[in-house]
Amino acid sequence: MIALENIQFHYPHSSVGVHDINLQVETGEFLVVVGASGSGKSTLLQLIAGFLTPLQGRVLLDHQDVTQLSCGERGLGIVLQDYVLFNHMTVLGNVAYPLKVKGVRQVERHRRARKILHDVGLEALEHYYPSQLSGGQQQRVAIARALVFEPRALLLDEPFSALDASRRESMRQELKHIQRQFGVTTLMITHDQEEALMLGDHVAVLEQGELLQHSAPHQLYTQPVSEAVARFIGRTNFIDAQVINSQRIQTADLGILEVTPHAFTVGQTVRAMIRPEAIIANPVSDIVNRVPTTLVERQFLGAQQRHYLLCGTTTLSLESASTPDHITHVALPPTHIHLFNR
């Protein structure tokens, strides 16, 4: 288990860092921390790894306070962006290296390295050198090396950034499989929200050093707690509106919309959000929140089509698997409309 308690850190002569972070990764859980470039992801990872020390707060591993321990004393497996394999060592030598540092005898360290290479499907490559491996294979070696000494937790810093798109996709699946197989508590950082949703049991969204939301992927997508999270995770339509009462809002171009009961005050200006796939094309005539529209553009996305629709001066994007020739009306189901402060 990894626990961060009230972690505060900023770089010298700067206010930039991470602010009052409280976060827990349960034993065996896969947590992905996602955020834009400069949001503080690497800083957070380095605080957990022990490369940086927080100015306030505590880092706990399995309930032990490790805040003042060095990286080597924390017993963590770490995989960085550029893997840093030793080019003069074979795959077996690379994977066995952490055990050598710990003083494990050669016969035993090779036995354990071979076991882990077998577990990650690399046993046939043990005599290869890193330069003879593909990017994906090198990444698997780096993961095997991080796991060989049975770390208390695994930390991964953008591990797929050096891979091309197709290899990244297969490595994601492979990492998820390895993580489940070993049951190792894992924290990974990435700027890629699709990767975060796909891999994480939970996902934490970081912005300007602050934790905006920490939820299961589905909840993050369907119930973002703020406009910032909704903008960062997935595609979204935003519509400005004014609250009429606890179940209705007034919009400029879509008229009055029914919404689920909320606690905003009457007259308050809010921002309504609805995901593109939640909007219904050509709904039956007696449905709530039915609005006339004009189709202005259609984009082919493979399994889905994206339609750009004009309602007055408001453009909505609608995604669906079907491709109607004409879209004359859309419906915005109240349960899919979320309201945020403006």
Residues that bind ligand ATP (CB under 6 A): 11, 14, 16, 35, 37-43, 191
Handedness of CA 20, 197, 79, 82 (dihedral sign): negative
| Spatial separation of the C-alpha atoms in residues 318 and 330, rounded to whole Å | 9
47 vs 120, which CB is nearer to ligand ATP? Answer: 47
Sheet containing 269-274: order of strands: 256-258, 248-251, 237-245, 269-274, 338-341
Which of 157/319 has CB closer to ligand ATP?
157
Closer to ligand ATP by Cβ: residue 13 or 326: 13
- The residue (of 41 and 338) whose beta carbon lies closer to ligand ATP is 41
Instruction: Tell me the closest approach of the beta carbon of residue 154 to ligand ATP, in angstroms.
Output: 18
Nearest partner of 196 among 36, 48, 338, judged by Cα: 36
Minimum gap (Å) between residue 95 Cβ and ligand ATP: 27
Which residue, 23 or 332, is less far from ligand ATP as judged by CB? 23
Q: Which is nearer to ligand ATP, 37 or 265 (CB)?
A: 37
In whole angstroms, give the CA distance from residue 115 to residue 125.
13
Other CB atoms within 10 A of residue 210 CB = 15
- Write down the least CB distance from residue 316 to ligand ATP, Å: 31
Minimum CB distance to ligand ATP, residue 105 (Å): 39
- Pairing verdict, β 329-331 and 280-281: antiparallel
**For ligand ATP, which is the closer residue by CB, 122 or 156?**
156
**Cβ–Cβ < 8 Å for 230, 273:** yes
Give min distance, CB of 40 to ligand ATP, in A.
4
